[in-house]
Each structure stands twice: as C-alpha cells, then as structure tokens.
Structure 1
Amino acid sequence: MSDFAKVERPAARETGSRGAPPNTAPEGTITTPPQKPGGAPGPAKVPTRPGDRIFKAMTVGSGVTIVVMIVLIGVFLLIQAIPSLADNESNFLFSRDWNADPAALAFGVLDLLLVTVFSSIFALLIAMPVSLGIALFLTQYAPKRLAKPFGYLVDLLAAVPSIIYGLWGLYELAPALRPISTWLNDTLGFIPIFATGSSNLAIGQTIFTAGIVLAVMLLPIITAISREVFDRTPSMHIEGALALGATKWEVVKTTVLPFGRAGYMSASMLGLGRALGETIALLIILASTTQTFSFSLFDGGDTIASKIARAASEFNDPKGAGAYIAAGLVLFVLTFVVNAFARWIIAGHKEYE
C-alpha cells in the first residue's frame, strides 16, 4: 500500500479564559462584540473619553438649568402673589374690577385675560394662512436663487424691535386702516365683533389695529418652522405623485400638506404663545379704557402684559405690586399650557423627532 500523504493540522488558535480569541485590535478602536450563546451579538462597547464626559455634563447641566429657572420663576410669582390674593376682596379669576390700591385690594383678571386671548387669536387667524402661503411658496414654487434671499427677508422681521412695530402700527397703520374700520363698523355693526367698541375709530387704538400688528410679528416664527417642516417632505413621495401625473398643487395637497400638518399646527401654537406675551407694541397701540371688554374688534383695553408694563412705575407697595404679579402668574401658566399643547400636537410623529 502506498503511503498516505501526511496532512498537517493547523495549530490551535490561542483562546482566552472562556475559549474566545484574544482582542488584538489596537487600543482606542471599536471591535465587533462577541456572539452570545443564542447567536445574537452582545452590546457594542464604545470607549468614552474625557471630552465626551465633559460635553455630556455641559449639555445635561444646560438642560437642568433651564428647567430650574422656569421652576424658580413660577415659585417667585406664586410667593409674591399669595399675600395680595389673600387680601383681595374680589373674585380674582371671574371679576372685571381692577383696584390695586393696597388699602382696598379688589382686582380680577377676567377682562385682561379676555383682551389678551381675543387679540392673540385674531392675530393668529390672520398670520396662519399668510405664513402657510409664504412657506409653501419658498419650498415648492420659488426658484432656489429667489427662495433663500426672500426667506432671509421674512426672518428679518423677527429682528425688528417691538417698539418699532408699535410706533408703526399707531402712526402709519392705524390711519391707513381707518376707512376699513369705519366701513366694517357701519356695514357689519350688527355682528358683535364689528360693533362699536370702547375706543375711538378715528384714532385707531383698537384691537383691530393691534391684532394686525401682532400678525405681522408672528409671521417669521410660523413661517420659519413651517418652511423647515415642508422641506423635510420625502422626495420619493413628491416624485411618486409627479410620476402619477399630479399637478404641482395636487402634489402639495396630497404629500406636502399631510406630511407637514402637525408641524405647521405646532408652529402656530408657538406663535400664539409669542402673541400672548407681547407687551410694548400693544402698550403703544391699545387705548386704556375703564369700560369692560365687549368682544368687539374696535374695543380698547389692556392685555395682561401691557397692564403690568403700564403700571410698572407705580410699584411702590408690595401688596399693590402683588396684584399685577398675580396677573403675570396667570399669563405664565397660560403660555406654558399653549407651548405644552404645541409639543403634544407633534408627539407621536416620528418625522419631527
């Protein structure tokens, strides 16, 4: 019989204590995790460096700082408001009286709250469709060489100081709106929102003027967020609709708007929160009045923020100031609820996470 060829067996690989090959990768690299008994890979171990730990500490600290500041502001408002609320002789939430005299405190926030909400919602109803049109134009219709500079111009509206908006609204916009206000009051005065209010139409210091100014101030906020949302519409959806023969408007209606609806509504709620807290512009435009609010666009009055600003120089007594701080607490809670509602709208939409 012929001799069989001798076949050399490969040398056994070195193994660790559990039979796994040793880790020979250079230090600082990420290696493939070992297999578990069931065949699934174990969790990868990513090395941490001092820079990673420092950056994590800074980001966590920044987030915690913001939360703590908000809590401290709320606690401050509550502590300052409690003594005045304890001595208040009127129902704080449902009374329309306002007397912040420390000797006879009798104040209610209802009238201020109604003016605040009414003027803000009126501004939002104007700003929402205009912002939607601008965002769609910039993302779907305008050529790129025009979209960028036009978008910058819209964003610059946010850089204009509130006092400039107030002066523009009082001295330029109000005279220009006088014929429209008069026509609406004469023609549609039987409708409560167009009825004769507590402010002089000839001067124009009304919620009608203030609401339009507020709407202009909301445009950059709502437009910027909506534009970013519409830009994130998957290109495959748009191309698929075009391939099926859809027109540009049909593409917008069937792909862009459904995808960006939640983001657009969230942007509108953030704009509403901005409108609720506006102070200087409304302080300049709205005429202060002693009459109660009648739900007319041609009423004057004060919002919570403008009322506080109008009386800030008279805060000589802690209890008198506490009445205004209590009103500020209501505005703080209202703004927080609106912003929380905006977050709730986009909750569950993974495309916005």
Structure 2
Amino acid sequence: MTGIPADRAAGHLRRSSRARWLSGDSLFRGGVTAAGVIVVVVLLATAVFIVNKAWPAISHYGLGSYLSSSRWAPSEAVADKSSPNPYGIMQFLYGTLVTSAIAMVIAVPLSVAVALTITDVAPAWMRRPLSSLVDLLAAIPSVVYGFWGIFALIPALKPFGTWAASTFDGVPVLGTIFAGPFFGVSYFSAGVVLAIMCLPIVTAICREVFATAPGAEKESAYALGATRMEMLRMAVLPRSRSGIVGASVLGLGRALGETIAVTMLIGNNVLSITKSILGQGATMPSVIANEFTEANQPFHLSSLFVVAGCLLVLALIVNTIGKLIVRRTGENIA
C-alpha cells in the first residue's frame, strides 16, 4: 500500500481547515460573538464619552458636591474654583426615583392582573384582541402621552389630589406625602402616565411567563377542588415570581429614562426637593431635555453630562439588582 505524498496531504489539511472555517457553524459563531462584542463596545464608548464630557465640571467642583446639594442655579456659576457648586442634582435624583416608584406601584399589580386575564381568565375569543390592544399602548409616542396627560389626565386627577391633600392634612407621614395644594402638574401626574407607559412592557413579559406554567399543575389544582383564583395563586404565580421581577425591572428601566412625557407633566421645579407627590419637581432626563440647548453658563453643559452619567449609573445599578433578585428567586423556586 502506497502512502499519500506529503504535499498532497498538506494541501488536503489546508482545504479541510478552510472548509471548517467557512462552515455555517463557524460563521454563526463569529456573527453572534461580534454582536456581543459590539454591545459591550457601544456601552463602554457611551460611558467614556459621557465621562469625558462631564470631566471638566467634576474636576472643577468635585463629584461629591453634585450629590450633596439640591440647589440648581446655573446663573450663579463662575469659573473661580473657590466658588460653591451651583449645580446640585439631588432634587433630580429624588424626582426620578419618586416618579418611577409611583409608576411601579401602579403598573406592576395592574400588569400582572391584565396578564392573568389574557392567559387564564378571559374567554379564548377575547384573549388575542385584548393582547393586541395592550401591545398597542407601547406604540403611542411619549409626546402624545404628554398631551393626553395635560388635557385629560390632570383634570381627572384634580378631584383626587384635592381630596387627598385635605383628608391627610396633619396626618403623620401621609400628611407629608400628600401635602397640597395640587395644581395638576406634579410627581403624581407624571408617575401615573409613566405607569401607563410601562404597562405594555410588564404585561407582555408576564403574559409569556404565565403561559409557560405547567398545564398539569393547573389541572391538579382544579382536581383538588381549587377555584380559579386559588389555582392561579398555587400553580401559576409561585412559578412566575422570577419572571414578574424581571418584567418589573424592565418596566422600571423604562420609567427611569422617560423624558418627554415626564417633562410635560412634572412641573420642572429645579430649585429644591418637594417632598409631597402632589408637588412639582424635575427628573434627571427632564432637566437634560429642558436645558441642554441653552447651556451657556460656565460648566453648565458639562454638569448636564454629570446628570446623564448619574442616570446611566442608576440604570446599571437597578438592572444589576434586578438580575440578582431574579437569580435568587429562580434558585428558591427550583
């Protein structure tokens, strides 16, 4: 038996190596790897760009001075390093957290209820149209939500705001939270609109999670004499805990970054923190949207980039905490 010549064997190996390199699996692996790398590069590039633009203000005033003050007065900014920082941002951080919290308190229970209705309660003929209507809420532009909030929602909320301010006046804690007067534009109005904007996202994810609940467990609950509500409580909700948390985190991310609708409804009070949810305030996205076109004072534009950087860090922290909760919840269920 004669052996294969060395040059032919080497050529065969090269062709085999090239074929493996050009195979579908290799191309797919390369494509998805490149997509993952692009996401990381874009995120890092965004962070570097924001830090680079914010660095002049941070090096001049120090980051701590931004996080220790709630006074935003660009007209008092001077180039002298010994002058106090007039760009305190605590009121924007407070407004962002308060409006997002209001949105989550309203949106999460409502979204879970709507998702349960679509998957397990509504008649079969109604589920698809109802699901489509909820999904359509995500297609409405935020500026439309803002106009609707000004001309329809605020007049509808005024009786509740007036009632809450008068009813809880003097009551510990609640008297501070619902302190009046209520003029319409407020944290509360912005939070309600945010809840409506977050509802389709949270509902869509919860709907898919609930649909994966094992049918055998549902039938077992019915066989044991459980009502529909008891079946949902015993067979669907416990297995969907991590999915509900994940959906809530995505909805919270939507609420933290919303700009136009919140800017139109929150009142844009940048001077101080208003503790009452019926009062006016500002969020980090709203102050950026309002002032970046007229940022002509010393370190004004750079300070807006500081606000943007803090918003990015807040979003990363929220998503990280959400992933940890989802992982722990999933381990507990398993």
Tell me which interval the TM-score lies in, with the shorter structure as reference length: 0.7 to 0.9
How far apart, in 1, do the equivalents of 2:93 and 2:266 lie?
Answer: 15
Q: Which string of whole-angstrom CA distances, capped at 9 and with x for unpartnered residues, describes residues 39-67 of structure 1?
A: xxxxxxxx886222112211111111011
Please state how far the C-alpha of 1:82 moved relative to its aligned partner: 1.5
Please state how far the C-alpha of 1:280 moved relative to its aligned partner: 0.2
Matched, 1:347 2:331: no
Matched, 1:179 2:153: no
How far apart, in 2, do the equivalents of 1:250 and 1:48 lie?
Answer: 56
CA contact (8 A) 2:71 2:271 kept: no
Q: What's the secondary structure of 1:106's corresponding residue?
A: coil
Equivalent in the alignment of 2:176: 192
The alpha-carbon distance between structure 1 residues 49 and 79, as it changes in their structure 2 partners (threshold 3 A), is closer
Please state how far the C-alpha of 1:237 moved relative to its aligned partner: 1.2
CA contact (8 A) 1:267 1:342 kept: no
Letter in 2 for 1:57: G
Task: Look at both structures and tell me which one has the larger radius of gyration over its CA atoms.
Answer: 1
Letter in 2 for 1:128: V
Q: Which string of whole-angstrom CA distances, capped at 9 and with x for unpartnered residues, describes residues 168-208 of structure 1?
A: 001111112111111111111231111126xxx34x11111
Of 272-281 and 92-101, deviating more is: 92-101
Q: Which string of whole-angstrom CA distances, capped at 9 and with x for unpartnered residues, describes residues 140-163 of structure 1?
A: 111222111110110110110000
Instruction: State the Cα RMSD in Å.
Output: 2.2
Equivalent in the alignment of 1:108: 88
Matched, 1:267 2:247: yes
Matches within 5 A, 1:160-239: 160-190=140-170, 191-196=175-180, 201-202=182-183, 204-239=184-219
Please state how far the C-alpha of 1:269 moved relative to its aligned partner: 1.5
Q: Which string of whole-angstrom CA distances, capped at 9 and with x for unpartnered residues, describes residues 291-325 of structure 1?
A: 52232111112100000000021134683211010
Please state how far the C-alpha of 1:351 moved relative to its aligned partner: 12
How far apart, in 1, do the equivalents of 2:50 and 2:321 lie?
Answer: 22
The alpha-carbon distance between structure 1 residues 351 and 49, as it changes in their structure 2 partners (threshold 3 A), is farther
Equivalent in the alignment of 1:336: 316
Report which structure shows greater RCO (CA 8 Å, sep ≥6): 2
Q: What's the secondary structure of 2:314's corresponding residue?
A: helix
Equivalent in the alignment of 2:34: 61
% identical equivalent positions: 38
Matched, 1:99 2:73: yes
Letter in 1 for 2:90: L
**Selected match of 2:25 from 52, 59, 84:** 52
Equivalent in the alignment of 1:39: none
Please state how far the C-alpha of 1:255 moved relative to its aligned partner: 1.0
Q: Which string of whole-angstrom CA distances, capped at 9 and with x for unpartnered residues, describes residues 242-267 of structure 1?
A: 22222111110111010001110121
How far apart, in 2, do the equivalents of 1:50 and 1:350 lie?
Answer: 38
Matches within 5 A, 1:1-353: 50-88=23-61, 91-100=65-74, 103-104=78-79, 105-190=85-170, 191-196=175-180, 201-202=182-183, 204-289=184-269, 291-316=271-296, 319-347=299-327, 349=330
CA contact (8 A) 2:70 2:271 kept: no
How far apart, in 1, do the equivalents of 2:273 and 2:132 lie?
Answer: 39
Please state how far the C-alpha of 1:346 moved relative to its aligned partner: 2.2
**Length-normalised TM-score, structure 1:** 0.81
Q: Which runs of 4+ in 1 moved over 4 A?
A: none
Higher helix content, 1 or 2: 2
**Length-normalised TM-score, structure 2:** 0.85
The alpha-carbon distance between structure 1 residues 79 and 233, as it changes in their structure 2 partners (threshold 3 A), is same
Unmatched 5+ stretches in structure 1? 1-46
CA contact (8 A) 1:116 1:276 kept: yes
Q: Which string of whole-angstrom CA distances, capped at 9 and with x for unpartnered residues, describes residues 276-297 of structure 1?
A: 1110001111212255223211
Unmatched 5+ stretches in structure 2? 1-19, 80-84
How far apart, in 2, do the equivalents of 1:60 and 1:165 lie?
Answer: 38
